[in-house]
Amino acid sequence: TWILWNEGRWAEVVDEALGNLFSPSEVMKCIHIGLLCVQNRAVDRPTMAEVDFMLISETDLPSPKEPPYSFPALSDKSEFPPLRCSNNNVTLTAVEGR
């Protein structure tokens, strides 16, 4: 997300299945706030009260700093074969005394 944000390609984060059922400005704001929340230094991250205020207000947001981790974006998803998944059935039993 960080790389896409810096390249101005933040819309690629949105699931294509949504089509046009979202507000681009609201999505951009949420991504921006999310990037602020994952900054490396805790003092740079907003508090929950600040996040709440950011979500309901129209104030300018500070520029996010690069998070301590970032993953390269997949430019062409067709390069990779589809993932095969399996369903695992697991039973957990907890023994408790009377």
Distance CA 6, CA 76 (A): 19
Contact 47, 68 (CB under 8 A): no
Local confidence band at 74 (pLDDT 50, 70, 90 cut-offs): low
Query: 25 or 69: whose pLDDT is higher?
Result: 25
Residue with tokens 């399996």: 86
8 A C-beta contact, residue 2 and residue 67: yes
Percent of the chain with pLDDT over 70: 81
